[in-house]
Structure formats: structure tokens, C-alpha cells
Structure 1
Amino acid sequence: MPEPLIQIEGLYKLFGKNPKSVMSMVHEGRSKDDILAETGHTLGLKDINLTINKGEIFVIMGLSGSGKSTLIRHFNRLIDPTEGVIRVDNIDVMKLSPKELEEFRRYKMSMVFQRFGLMPHRTVLENVGYGLAVQGQSKAAWTAKATEWLETVGLAGYEAQYPSQLSGGQQQRVGLARALCTDAEILLMDEAFSALDPLIRSEMQDQLIELQGKLHKTIIFITHDLDEALRLGDRIAILKDGEMVQQGTPEDILLNPADDYVEAFVKDVNRARALTVETVMKPPSGRITADTIAEALVQMKALKGNHGYYVNDDGYQGIVTLDALEACSDDGSQQMSADIWQELPAISPDAMLESVIPETLEADYPLPVVDEEGNLKGELSRHNIAEILGGAEKHVEEKI
């Protein structure tokens, strides 16, 4: 079961001189534009409710002005809400004293900024170890740890360089190493890769995924790019004008957009690159488990089709057809063997759809989806692929 780490309940943020006095208009359902026109207050966030689980990458996305950066700054109280509850590891963050809040920011959360946020007058090593130095660790201790993290992000040998001597991608790696160096449980990343060139951005995404596989941090990642959100996020929340319009897994968002706003986001996404086999596979059409040909024929005739996937104690073996069984039916007591089933390559449930399209289209039968233990999980056919890849266009046509 997922373990909740961060809980946001009924969060509102109004920017202005006296936001508390304007909250009644918000609760009455007055629009953002009306509130601004009548009071000069700007509604930044409206009734945000979400739970972020320990060890997941939770992506918050939306267009410019949607409130995503405002929201992430509530997690460590760089911005205080007008109303609402913020709990981190069952701690009510709003009740922390100034000293407790300082400790919370130092040890519980680290932040990676869009524009790197490096100190130009300090070396790369000093930038990475700065958080530990502030915590009071000795120079020998923070130097050793900072050196280790620079090696982890691929910057060994750059310790004595200054930020101005590095490329944008290298500077962002320094920022990431600095955030990780404090060993904070939670990593806040606000548009961390959006200032980078596309190729470097893709490399940084790869590195974050690789690091997360080892570190299992809780990461809140802000982006306006749906491709990035789908690639990185275990779950995604989409904001519009300060309101949450949909939360869910990447597959939920892509296949079941909640409204026209979300649909506009997803309609141009390359689904084959964003979805795994597991998200689109169907249950196996037929499973043959018999020991003898006679028993296999009985099982086959109970199926709707003329083929089935043969599975024994060693897991998936191949595909069996009705014709092959009937050709051997004179000796029904004969044991099932490799002479009877055909090899049909299996695909992994974790494979990206894009990577298996060619072999799926070339195969005479739906490909079996088999996990690492050899268990038959489902099947993927040409029809499945056509249905998924054509789904967005069909949905748009239906609305027109």
C-alpha cells in the first residue's frame, strides 16, 4: 500500500493586502476575474486537495499562470496559504515555529530551481556542499560527500570550476547534486529542466529516472511540458487558473482526460512513446495448461478462438493452435511437447508501446505479454495498437 507523506487539504491562496476579508467571495464561487476587478486581490490557488506518497515522483503541471509554482512553494512555506492544511510526515507545517521551520527546510526538503540558483563566487564543490556546511558539518565531511555526489551526477573533476565556466546542463547537474547532498527526504523541482536545450533536457530526465531508481526520494516536479510529465511522473496533477482539474497516473491522464482543457494537452502526445504494454494489453484470449493432447483439445474447444498460449510449471512456452492439436489427436494420450507448440516471442509488460509495434504488426497472432517470472499477463494485438493510437483522433472526430 502507498504510504502518504504529504497531504494538502482545502488549500487556498489569495494575493493582496487583506486576503482573509475576500475569502467569502471565493467560497461564494465568484470568478477569479470578478474578485480581481472588485477587490484588487488575485486568486492563486482554489481548494487544492492532494496526497503525495512516499518514494514517488509527483508531477504538477499546467500552463503559465496556472498556479503550479505557487503550489510547490507552499510545501516548505516559502508561501503561506490563506486557508488550508499542509501536513508533511504527519507534521502540521503551519504550526511550526520559525526555528522549527528553519530546521524543516534544512533537513526535510531540498529544492532545485529553473535558473540553477548557484552562487557564482563559490566553486562547484562549495556550491554542492553548501547545505551541509550550513548544517554545521566539518569541511572534511561536506567535502567528501559533495565530491561523491558530483561523481554521481557525472561531474567528477569539475570540483574547482566556477558556475560561469560550466554549460547550462552542467550547472543544472550541480544544482541537482547540491539538493541531493543534504540527503533530504523530499526534493522540490520547479521547472528544473525547462531552461535547458532539448537534448540536455532529455539527458537530465534520464539521469533523474536513473537516480530515483536507486534513491527512492519523494520528488515533486513542476513542469508545463506534458511529455516531460508523462515520462517522469508516477502520478500527475493538472492545474488550470489555480484549480485542480485532474489527478491520476500518466495512463489515466492520457486515456481518460477529465475535460476539454486536459484533452487539449494530450491530443498531440505520442501515445506509443508514453504508454507501456501493460496499460493497453488485453487479457489472454486463451490459456492451455493441459499435460496431454487430449486434455489440450478439450481446453481449446472451450475457447472462442483457434489458438491458445501454452503454459506449464515453467511458465509461458509458446502458442498452440487447434490445427496442430487435431493433427496429433490420433494419440490423445501423448504428452504436450515442444513439437506441438510454436515459438511466439513474448514481450514485457514494462516495455514502451513504441518499442514493440514492429513485432506486433508482423506476428500472425497477438503477442503474449509475459513478466520476468514467465507468468502470462495478457496479450497485445494489432487491433489493440490501432485502437489506442487512433483513440485520440477518433475522440476528436466524435466531438466535431
Structure 2
Amino acid sequence: MNNTASGAAPPRPVKLSCHGLWKVFGPNAAQFLAAHGGKVTSADLERAHMVGAVRNASIEVREGETFIIMGLSGSGKSTLVRCLSRLIEPTMGELTVDGQDLLTMTEAELIDIRRHKMGMVFQHFALLPHLNVLDNVAFPLMIQGVARKAREERAMQMIELVSLKGRERRFPAELSGGQQQRVGIARSLAVEPEIWFLDEPFSALDPLIRREMQAELIRLQNVLKKTIIFITHDFDEAIRLADRIAIMKDGEIIQIGRPEDLVSNPATDYVAKFTQDVNRARVLSAGGIMRQSSPAAASLRRVQAAQKVESFAAEIVESAQPFAVEDAAGRIVGEVMPRDVLDVLTGRGREPLRD
């Protein structure tokens, strides 16, 4: 899902954004924040016996982007996502979807946008045990008042999309955990959401099934091009799925960037700890470790700037020769040295040299 090639297309439109968003639990929290001009410290909150679950959060999620929010338990990531969908009311800040102010919408408008623009998948599948797969997937369409024939046709399309055809008459108890999660995914897609919220959807699954579901999500995203906001505490999962990642701590967003940015340039020790055990060769690209090109670059073997180091590491180390790095248009933009690849493989690393 990562879009890291040089010379990429202009940024896509912003689909969902929040600015200066707060969620504070405690009596008269809104008045408390207003009295402080939205500038409150941890000490201020502690003295007032309040909890800042989300603190001054600002993000912009672009159309078709997979945006990961991650952090340890209690970091505020789930609360933030519930604020973004207004399942929880933010205490202060701005929140827009397609440029519309979500915080000023009436209850009826909010229900309509949730039913038609938003899909949600949670860690616990929440399937209705008395309904079979087909009826579980069709359930949100029934709530919308869609006729039975039309909703079942749509549900069958989603069941096929998540590779469950042939199991549509089974009940949840007859399915494996991974199959149940596929039903949850199909159900959330049945309403054709533009924005898809996934709150640790795979964390309860066994590692093998979890990896299969990650691959399934990548496949679905390549087909559907949804705007995805995905919560996880697993950095390996995040780097596999994300276009960009926001890392949270104590309700605050510490850093936002591409997986490669977070690994190469962590903003804090906290971010560095998240990335310290990651397979850097799987995350870092040729463009991320390249040096300035030499006059001889045109005669060298070439790699794409977006190629991950692991894809060419064996060849460059064996050749003991630099590789030229080219952008998406085929222009040489730098060189990768064998020793720099070895640094990545051994974890030594270095700050890349730039023009």
C-alpha cells in the first residue's frame, strides 16, 4: 500500500481531518479547556482531576489512503478513532469529512453519514449468532430499508469478495476466527463506505490467520481504494499496511510519517523504541539510503527509488558494486553503496547523504 516512489502524483484530496481535537473526561471539561484557551498541560489536567484521553490531535487523511494510528494500550488511539466518527463526542476542536463540519451535524445527519459513508470493523466481531453469514452481512442494509432481494445480492457480492462463497448459510459458531472476521469485514463493506474504520481488527487472531487477514486487507484495498483508518499496537502490522502512520502516547500524536520516515528519523526516543526491532531492510527503500550519484552512475545496474532494500540486498552485496537509483520517470537520482546496504542489514545505519 505504501506510495514511496519518487515523482509521485500530486496529493489526493483530504477526506477526513481533525485539528486541535481534544477529548477530556471530567466534570465541565469543555469549560475547563475553554478557560485555558485549549492549552492544557498534564499537570493542569491532574490538578483538575481530569483525564486527557485525546490531546490536541491534528491529522489529515487523504482519499484512498491507509492511515494507521498506533500506540501502546491507553495511548488514546481507540478514543481518537471514536471521536473521528463521533461515536464519542470530542470536547474541543475541529472535525471535517469532505470539508463538512461533522461537529455541527444534527443527530439525523450524523446517522445518515455513518450509514452511507462510514464502515467500522472492531476487534470483537460482534456477529449476530442467530443469523447466518448472508443475513449478518445484509444486516446493515436491512437497517437502511433496502429490499430483501437487493440486500441479499449485495451481501453475496461482499461474501464473494472476502472469499467466503459457499459458507453464506453457515452460522457464526460454525466458522473459524478468521472466517468470522471476514464476515465482519464483508458486513462493514456492504454499505459501500467511503471511510473505513478498523480498530485492531486482527489482534485477537492467531499469528498465521492474522497475517492472512493482513494480506486479505491489502488485496481488498487494491481493489476498492477505500480511505482506511486502522488502529494497531503492532509496528510490523503497521508497516505492512500503512501509507502513513501516526504514533500516539498519553493522548498526544508524537509523530506522523511514512513507515520509512519513522524508522529513519524517529522524532523521539518513544518512536525509536517502536521501530528498534523492525526489519529495516523491509522498510527502508533505495531512495531512503542513496547517496549523490557519480558520473559513472549511467553505466551501473539500476534499482527503483521505491524498491525496498531487501529486494536487492543479496545482489548488491554479492556484486560489491554500487547500484544507480532511478525515479519513476527513469531519471537517475542517486546511488546505493554495498556498505550502506550492509549497514541496514546489520542495524548500523547512517544518515543518508543528500544534495
Structure 2 residue identity aligned to 1:30:
T
Q: Name 1:66's counterpart in structure 2.
A: 75
Q: 299, 308, 315: which one pairs with 1:359?
A: 315
Contact persistence 2:132–2:168 (CA under 8 A): yes
Which SS does the other structure have where 1:309 is aligned?
helix
Task: Provide, for residues 37-56 of structure 1, a one-character-per-residue CA deviation record: whole Å limited to 9, x for no partner.
Answer: x4432111111111111110
Distance 2:242 2:93 in 1: 25
Distance 1:201 1:284 in 2: 41
Distance 1:79 1:208 in 2: 26
Q: Name 1:339's counterpart in structure 2.
A: none
Distance 2:27 2:332 in 1: 62
Displacement of 1:308 after TM fit?
A: 4.1
Distance 1:378 1:150 in 2: 46
Distance 2:309 2:200 in 1: 27
Displacement of 1:372 after TM fit?
A: 7.4
Q: Name 2:206's counterpart in structure 1.
A: 197
Structure 2 residue identity aligned to 1:241:
D
Displacement of 1:228 after TM fit?
A: 1.1
Contact persistence 2:280–2:347 (CA under 8 A): no
1:145 aligns with 2:154: yes
Change (3 A) 1:308 1:137: same
Which aligned pairs between 1:140-179 and structure 2 lie closer than 5 A?
140-179=149-188
1:75 aligns with 2:31: no
Structure 2 residue identity aligned to 1:17:
P
Distance 1:308 1:111 in 2: 49
Displacement of 1:118 after TM fit?
A: 1.2
Q: Name 1:185's counterpart in structure 2.
A: 194
Q: Name 1:122's counterpart in structure 2.
A: 131
Displacement of 1:391 after TM fit?
A: 5.5
Change (3 A) 1:377 1:161: farther
Greater RCO, 1 or 2 (C-alpha within 8 Å, sep 6+): 2
Q: 14, 19, 30: which one pairs with 2:41?
A: 30
Count residues in correspondence: 340
Contact persistence 1:267–1:392 (CA under 8 A): no
Q: Alignment RMSD, CA only?
A: 2.2
Displacement of 1:381 after TM fit?
A: 2.3
1:383 aligns with 2:339: yes
Change (3 A) 1:127 1:276: farther
Task: Provide, for residues 250-274 of structure 1, a one-character-per-residue CA deviation record: whole Å limited to 9, x for no partner.
Answer: 1111100001111111111111122
Which SS does the other structure have where 1:126 is aligned?
helix
Contact persistence 2:200–2:231 (CA under 8 A): yes
Displacement of 1:176 after TM fit?
A: 1.0
Q: Name 1:4's counterpart in structure 2.
A: 14
Aligned-residue identity in percent = 45
Contact persistence 1:25–1:35 (CA under 8 A): no
Q: 18, 25, 29: which one pairs with 1:15?
A: 25
Distance 1:35 1:141 in 2: 52
Task: Provide, for residues 196-220 of structure 1, a one-character-per-residue CA deviation record: whole Å limited to 9, x for no partner.
Answer: 1111111111111121112111000
Change (3 A) 1:180 1:28: closer
Which SS does the other structure have where 1:237 is aligned?
strand
Structure 2 residue identity aligned to 1:31:
S
Which SS does the other structure have where 2:307 is aligned?
coil
Contact persistence 2:118–2:193 (CA under 8 A): yes
Distance 1:35 1:372 in 2: 49
Q: 111, 117, 121: which one pairs with 2:120?
A: 111
Q: 212, 215, 221: which one pairs with 1:212?
A: 221
Contact persistence 2:320–2:338 (CA under 8 A): no
Change (3 A) 1:101 1:41: same
Q: If the length of structure 1 is used for normalisation, what is the TM-score?
A: 0.79
Displacement of 1:10 after TM fit?
A: 0.9
